[in-house]
Structure 1
Amino acid sequence: MKRMRTASRTSQVERIIIPTPFLVGDVNVYLISGDVNILIDTGPDTPEAKQALLQGLRGRGLETEDIDLLILTHHHPDHIGLAGMFTGKTKTAGHPLLKPWLEKNEGLYEHIEAFFRPFFKRHGMDEEVIEQIVRQQERYREFVQPAEMTDELEETVQTPMLPGWTIIETPGHASTHISLLREEDGLLVAGDHVIKHISSNAIIEAPASAGAERPKTLLDYRQSLKKCAGTALIFSGHGDMITNPRTLIEKRLTAQLQKADMFLSKLEQPMTVAELTKTVYGTMFKKQPDLTFSETLGHLDLLAQQGRVSVWIDGNKAVYESLQL
């Protein structure tokens, strides 16, 4: 019987920098090399990204077929776009919710659009802006090759190829998000969960199934941040490594509370989410309506959790009101 190869507990973790066409800039993918070769994330499906990934592997004496396991941290195009290069050559693993994203399942896209069109309208978004967001989501999908996912990873699942590593579910930035913790030294490969130079967006998402409750992504993100505060070193999906995770995470959590206070101060009268977003972000709302709307709704969710706002239905619109005395 052939013995399954595994990475050693002290396997080297190397960064390969991949260009993207997105505002976030370059994305980091990571190669864990040892007795086996494990790649974490891929970059988007562009000629430039493909060239950079192949050059990064070949600079280490590897081809795509030499990768024993591809692990994907979450479903965003700059992290999974080139996974199709590895289909049929290696195992591909990720969170169970990642599978339809990786397969580019049309049913998933229809479910998302069916949720968001009435959702945005109920929260005060104009029809032309809704159409803008839907078209933008479609364009993002063009940066993903369809690929096959062979293995599901959750916190309860061990990765036999990676002894000494633990899967941590870190939803918030994405419902599909996982991070990998090396128990021996507290090294966390964190995807977009924690980034040194910018705060990750807790992007609103449709529920996993029709009729389910909408994920409150900022609240999920705060819990996920707290889970990782005790790590020693973080390798992020963008930018430099984080050598002081606890300090940065505490800074992020405090900044979210302060931002919630700011949103509350702007809620001088009952408003929809879209109205409050326009009040706070002005012209930035026109450029990035989806992200600014997400920021506003997330902090309203936080204020609601704190008992500082209420939401009620006025006709066919959801309206938020400050409970601040």
Structure 2
Amino acid sequence: MSRTQGGGRHMDERDVRVRARGGSKPRTSNRPKHADAVEGLVTAVDRGRYRCLVDGVPVVAMKARELGRGSIVVGDRVGVVGDLSGRPDTLARVVRVKERRSVLRRTADDTDPVERIIVANADQLAIVCSLADPEPQPRFVDRCLVAAYDAGLEPLLCLTKADLGSPAPMVRLYEPLGLPYVVLSPENDLSDLPEHLTRHTTVFVGSSGVGKSTLVNRLIPGTERAVGGVNTVTGRGRHTSTSAVALQFGGGWIIDTPGVRSFGLAHIDPAEIVEGFPEIAEVARDCPEDCGHRPDSPDCAVRKGLAAGTLDADRVASLMRLLTSREGEEETTEQ
């Protein structure tokens, strides 16, 4: 420090404190190896806490900071460290997420670019559709089928409330696909369903009020998944289950998901939507490149097949609705 002749204080560079950027410790790209991590299965996610099954013990864990902002979902296989006793008030850490074999995704609607991962590592999608109260929703089923094909999942159609409506129209609609299905009512014993679920990891998806959680409760007594009815004014189901949960069943897993009113496909390319309808996709291979399959599309093989009666009119109409809604031309909110 120096002073001026008048006794005043004169500042120089030695008087200026320089603060190191990022703190005093040097940054490093090294991350903990966590060689002691034990593999677990994420069975539920609730407000930043992950319920994992580790060596048969249910453990509550948080996500390690080094994993960043990436999502962890039900069905993920993860590496867990810390207190794995499962005792009350203990908390472990998820430090690693294994590569996913499959991912079931949706968007909020057909214009939303943000993908939402529903579950990971499933191999089957059970699409639950009621035959009445609420009425059947083929468009919703079609959307789920496209998502299943995109994710590489085998679809299974579960038609509920057969005591209130006939399954014949829905069965006839999906017969060309060879889609496996089961017809269910409160009176039957579900004997046809378990054989489809044994040794599979099956995701149950459906609109609110179709009886999805009721079905899960019947398959696994004591589960006590919340159930609800249908609003008599709007005809819409009431949301009951609020989060996905994986439940052991028949040497595999059932994953019950919250009811949804829309199943957006913004993350799927239109060409892949056509592939979700195999019998139409086979014909579409003879279409000109970038054919939109519209009434004014020149030399459209799909339109020719429709006119010749070799393609089902309802299936083609459903595909057209998906393609137009995917392009933002038509509102597609499900009831």
Q: Which protein is bigger by CA-based radius of gyration?
A: 2
Q: 1 or 2, which has the higher strand percentage?
A: 2
| TM-score (ref. length: structure 2) | 0.24
| TM-score (ref. length: structure 1) | 0.25
